[in-house]
Structure 1
């Protein structure tokens, strides 16, 4: 098998606070719709902050049989629902494929929520009050395992827990195995449900904004916690052409790094290296980049550092490359973030529209990029970069391109 098989995205599925399914999601972020609302899953009276990107209209019963729901945590429910939407969108018939050559690779930050719920019950009511089904639901590796079990896929199955960069890692891992010929199809992405633990942790770090997320704004006050799942179906280009599939984008490559600079803070050198590595691995020049989907959390430190790294890589070109953050609309969806943003990059490449950074009010001289303020931009997008950074210095950058059928399928 040729080790340089071209890998394309043929299916997209998303569960988000602005819309269920890629069409509703895309329409919402192009319009600059905010999914931020007052927290309702627990009482926030003990906190300074009361807003987050909770998903209010997700009904898992629309995607999963009732008899199976009780064995699944909310994160698995969202992951299976997003995978179901992505598979339907890809029009891939699972009956016609070798299921041992179909893998599942998922990223996460918090894993499954029932673990947190069980600990809460244990502290407040005692261990004997813990629901035994919650124990079954709690293991973090349940995420890819439950997807594989639900769709009866028997290929490689991995959870990648590199937090907020994990979605890109998972996509990259599936890309590698398909490109090498080890597998033929992969369900890749990330998922995290809304977590009181994550909410409390970021609140304690004084990293959360009181009401709105304002990436790259001079007066930005922090991030907001969100939840969601983003899933991509990927396969070799020749398979997609044979099936006459709708191809959203081609994955050219990715870069990953761990600079281990700080437990929670990013470092410009680490980000610079991961972007340069992604460009090298994808065999493209910096002049070819049309759009950057930023990690863009809305904290003072992250946005300043990310912009500094972009300037170091692109020089004066940074002024001409649109760089937007959809976290301004969704909040930070943790392990789902870079996969949902990768999905947005695929749609930007397909539709030639760049989603905005909403809530932008005041320019910051240290973040003087074109952040696509408040309104989407119509622009040809041939190649897009997707940045995702995580605690501990885990950095990732994914590169997707508009499909070019004039090249050899295994070029």
Structure 2
């Protein structure tokens, strides 16, 4: 069977810099920071009190109120982003029941009601347990809830590969369409702000007290964020038949699962991941116009990512633009790489590379072109989107402008 080309025709984003593709992209282009004082949990006993919370998200704008009480916040974010993606793709709702549409969602922690149940039980005993929270708690609920809400009939998967999960989901969706196992896919990631993740990263001493400064010499660490990014995928022929607007083509992806360390990156494995992505896409390092970095802002992570870029991109390492939108959003965990994939699609479509904000002092060990503080206009044909996760779950995605 001849493999089908796969394109992105819809983008749905819920983020701390804006809800919907337009608000999100406008904020990213302007270098807007979505970092604010955290309000969803008590941070008074911690050094860091800031994060990329989505302050103005109202699930009622997307979901009937009678259904909201049965959905955790991560599912709410995923459903809202999926709805925005379907609308952006101009895909008729009545066709959902007739076509083989799949749902693939990546996440780090899944839903958080179990965490809330444990706290309620510890403080007040069994009488404080809300049975609806039990229904909301299963991690597989996220993709299942999206599928049930839109009544999709295709494959349905939840991929829990931490901070690279969004890229994994998009890559798997690409495979399913490419091999004819699905006609359309809603693929991406979703993550709600979590007390467990917040406390965990505090205990790892990996969080900045105020701002995220990827690649800066004085960077102090990451900040957490939340949100959802869902892409609508279909074959190139299908997009042409529907006269759909195409953002980008998915050219390929690379995976490595090295289990090297619970939290640390293994440079050789990360390099192999990027090389596999380029090989899968049938391009070379000389063809790439932009790298959307994992760029968490931690001293070690940024140093290793830059080292790997130098190894893979050789003489071009210092000339290829490399930026991190985590400087604006914080680290959205399972949603991070899918939101970044949305930014890559828009960069290709509009010819604008997002900046790395909060950059002040160059670091000799991160001597790349990080597009400091201001977006850059240039033609963007091929992009690499990096996603690296705990446990060595790495996924790099390659997207490009459609070339007939």
Is contact 2:356-2:373 (8 Å) kept?
Answer: yes
Q: Could you say which residue in structure 1 is the equivalent of 2:36?
A: 37
Q: SS of the counterpart of 1:231?
A: strand
Q: SS of the counterpart of 2:262?
A: coil
Q: Per-residue deviation at 1:268?
A: 1.2
Which digits, 9 at most, give the CA deviation of each residue in 1:216-271, with x for residues without a partner?
Answer: 00000000010000000000000000000010000001001012221101121111
Q: Per-residue deviation at 1:97?
A: 5.1
Listed as ranges, the matches of 1:249-398 within 5 Å are: 249-398=248-397
Is contact 2:96-2:152 (8 Å) kept?
Answer: no
Q: Per-residue deviation at 1:99?
A: 4.6
Q: Could you say which residue in structure 1 is the equivalent of 2:154?
A: 155
Q: Per-residue deviation at 1:66?
A: 0.6
**Matches of 1:271 and 1:94 in 2, distance apart?**
40
**Matches of 1:271 and 1:119 in 2, distance apart?**
37
**Matches of 1:267 and 1:361 in 2, distance apart?**
28
Listed as ranges, the matches of 1:390-409 within 5 Å are: 390-404=389-403, 406=404
**Matches of 1:273 and 1:392 in 2, distance apart?**
16
Which digits, 9 at most, give the CA deviation of each residue in 1:43-92, with x for residues without a partner?
Answer: 21111111011111000000000110000000000100000000000001
> Is the counterpart of residue 241 in structure 1 residue 240 in structure 2?
yes
Q: SS of the counterpart of 1:319?
A: coil
**Matches of 1:22 and 1:97 in 2, distance apart?**
22
Task: Report the count of equivalent residues.
Answer: 404
**Matches of 2:250 and 2:375 in 1, distance apart?**
24
Q: CA RMSD in A?
A: 0.9
Is contact 1:3-1:181 (8 Å) kept?
Answer: no
Q: Per-residue deviation at 1:116?
A: 1.2
Given the two structures, how large is their TM-score scaled by the length of structure 2?
0.99
Q: Per-residue deviation at 1:115?
A: 1.4
Q: Could you say which residue in structure 2 is the equivalent of 1:409?
A: none
**Matches of 1:374 and 1:135 in 2, distance apart?**
44
Is contact 2:75-2:111 (8 Å) kept?
Answer: yes
**Matches of 1:201 and 1:161 in 2, distance apart?**
17
Q: Per-residue deviation at 1:96?
A: 2.7
**Matches of 1:303 and 1:99 in 2, distance apart?**
46
Is contact 2:62-2:80 (8 Å) kept?
Answer: yes
**Matches of 1:105 and 1:202 in 2, distance apart?**
27
Q: Per-residue deviation at 1:125?
A: 1.2
